[in-house]
Amino acid sequence: MKTFRYFILLSALVAVLVSGCESLEVKNENDPDFATAFARPSDVKGTVGGLFNTWFQKTQDYDGPALMLWVGADAGTCSHGNAAMRDFSYEPRIAWDNTSAYGNAINTESFYKTMYAVLSQANEVLGKVVTSGMVITADDGTDETPMVKAMAYLMQGLSMGYVGLVFDKGFIVDETTVLTSDISLSTYSEILAAAVASLDKCIAVCSANTFTLPDTWIPGITYTQKEVGEMANSYAARFLAYGPRNKAENDAVDWARVLGYANNGLTFDLAPVMDDIYWYDLYHTYSCFQGWGQVDMRVVNMMDPEMPARWTDANTWNVLPARTTSHTEGVDDRIFTDYKYLSACGFKVDRGYYHFSCYRYGRHDTYLSTWTEPSPIFRKAENDLLKAEAMLHGSNIAGAAAIINAGTRVTRGGLAPIGANASEVEAAIFHERNVELMLSGVGVEFFTMRKADKLQPGTPLHLPIPGQQLEVNIMDYYTFGPDKGVAGQDYSNGGWF
């Protein structure tokens, strides 16, 4: 496999990858060198304290892949050309334009760079507190080294994990990596395994220590070692369960391991509180704001089978059934609580009636009014579904059904309990991930469709290393989409209709 030399430009917080025997020296005369900037323990603590915010802002960003993955999953719909939404939702699908000149190249390029920027900072922090033995002490004399170490391992895992979920390959780099040596490209499965290994280290530190995060690190609730450990467990379960690119890979997941993580996972909704200054969620804004994103009719039909699953022509608008406004047998109650009916659709007809919808997502409407609400990125309900899915694959069908029947399908959806039947459990998990988990963590709906072979034919199953990075690294251009890559491994040969 081709190898590359990995260099970090810390002052710009970007990772630069350079091929083989070439070298790159970058010096910024306006910034102090790393040894000076990180000489004090307070500097190291301050750096790790801001990493979750950096990661959050990019995963939930307008200029990231969140919106395009949402519409590519046929969970949301939008005919606007912004944020690659139209290009990623064409019917039939088209190949991803991976050139650096593409108008929406930023949506993968900035995400890729930021994940590696977070990773590089987490690695440098760990280099100080693990490799060099730096001790970080609070003003009252409390040893804060375990807290810093736990958060650095968490961010090491989250940054690598999202590279593995979104891209086909990348580089595994941790605090022990010699950055002047040649580093081979790794597959997404290898990257995800490395991410989970980092989360395991976070879990171990949390299990052996007691600490409380400063309230600015993740605003909203008080995060102790318990909550941080639960986060690490849930993300490990998410990475293992959502990493598969097809149903065959999904069936081969170590589901006993997923269950172990989920059993120790979130007992609360991970939802940082926004302040509209340092914390804001553009993914939730542009997917929900009037005139922007709407809910795909595929999901509407899942909640109310009387509604069409696809909007195919001009006549469909005139034959829509009456909307459901109160509890009705066989209809998911969330269609009139979480989802808002629209009497008109403002999308352009010449861009395809398949974009049209008569619903938008309304569960984030309070945030759109105040801009200072909790923004959920990992609901407890998702962790419960991970438990149920692991039990399903472990042949504990009754246990899986019990979790489903005690969960949001019945309590919020008002749907009838399911039986201890594998097909019913599988269908219920799929339903809940599309309906209850709508617009929570980036890519949840896309990863759900991907691992079930339900993405529309030709949809990229993952994204290539961004074109700008290919050029920097003198790598050959490549991309994914219809006939670009391997069918069923790089682009979908399945579908939902």
Q: Give per-residue pLDDT as tens, 180-224.
A: 888 899 999 999 999 999 999 999 999 999 999 999 999 999 999
Distance in angstroms (rounded) separating the CA atoms of residues 352 and 335: 25
Q: What is the mean pLDDT of the chain?
A: 92
| Confidence (pLDDT) at 34 | 56
| Confidence (pLDDT) at 5 | 39
Q: Are residues 64 and 187 in the same domain?
A: yes
Q: What is the CA radius of gyration of the chain?
A: 23
Closest CA to 157 of 225, 218, 226, 240: 240
**Among 370, 392, 421, residue at a domain's last position:** 370
Domain contains 79: yes
Distance in angstroms (rounded) separating the CA atoms of residues 148 and 40: 14
Would you say the pTM of this structure is higher than 0.85?
yes
Distance in angstroms (rounded) separating the CA atoms of residues 289 and 112: 26
Q: Are residues 201 and 332 in the same domain?
A: no
Q: Which residues does residue 491 pair with via DSSP β-bridges, in sequence order? A: 460, 487
* pLDDT above 50: residue 94: yes
The token pair at 363 is 């569960």
Closest CA to 450 of 491, 407, 398: 491
pLDDT tens digits, residue range 300-310? 999 999 999 99
Domain contains 84: yes
Residue identified by tokens 């999953």 is 73
* pLDDT above 50: residue 16: no
Q: Which residues does residue 5 pair with via DSSP β-bridges, in sequence order? A: 18, 182
Distance in angstroms (rounded) separating the CA atoms of residues 188 and 167: 7
Could you give phi then psi for residue 312, rounded to 5 degrees?
-105, -20
Q: Are residues 195 and 223 in the same domain?
A: yes
Per-residue confidence band for 11, with pLDDT thresholds at 50, 70 and 90 = very low
**Among 236, 263, 290, residue at a domain's last position:** 263
Domain that residue 287 falls in: 282-370
The token pair at 400 is 């899986």
The token pair at 100 is 């650096």
* Top-confidence residue, 427 or 319: 427
- Tally the C-alpha atoms within 13 A of residue 10's C-alpha that lie toward its C-beta: 17
What CATH number does residue 148 fall under?
1.25.40
**Among 213, 229, 263, residue at a domain's last position:** 263
Domain count, the chain: 2
Per-residue confidence band for 33, with pLDDT thresholds at 50, 70 and 90 = low
